[in-house]
Amino acid sequence: MALIKFGFQLEDVVDNFAPLPTGKYPCKLTHKELKKSQNGNDMLSVEWTIMEGEQAGKKIFDNVVLSLDWKVKQYASLIGVESGNSFDPDLFDGLEVIIDLLLRDQKPKEKDSAKLAGRDPDVQTNDIKKITVIGS
């Protein structure tokens, strides 16, 4: 097999997937995609990019499983949809919010899943506590 070359030095690569400290982060929605969850449920996969501060440029990922009513309501309210049974995901384009993020230890079930996947079960994880539209 031929040698594979890439345009960077491995020792210069920074791990951008480390959990973020607890705090409030100004973010902009930079990507969204309709997908299937591991259980086959429809979900909206969302990528937020931190806009400023020490963590600027880092990403926060969230999945809105469309069968979880509380999660769908949380996101629908961000775009002003307070009733009904549908919303246009394109209304999220460019949305700017403050994400209140919590850094926590993994729960036992999460640790077990991490072990099975070959990941470190002792790494902390983030939870989104609240999302607020900037200016509201």
| Residue 6: predicted pLDDT | 83
Domains along the chain?
Answer: 18-133 (2.40.50)
Predicted confidence (pLDDT) per residue in 81-94, tens digit:
999 999 999 999 99
Is the pLDDT reported for residue 120 higher than 90?
Answer: no
CB atoms within 10 A of CB 107: 10
Among 11-25, 46-60, 64-78, the minimum mean pLDDT is found in: 11-25
Most confident of the following: 6-10, 56-60, 117-121: 56-60
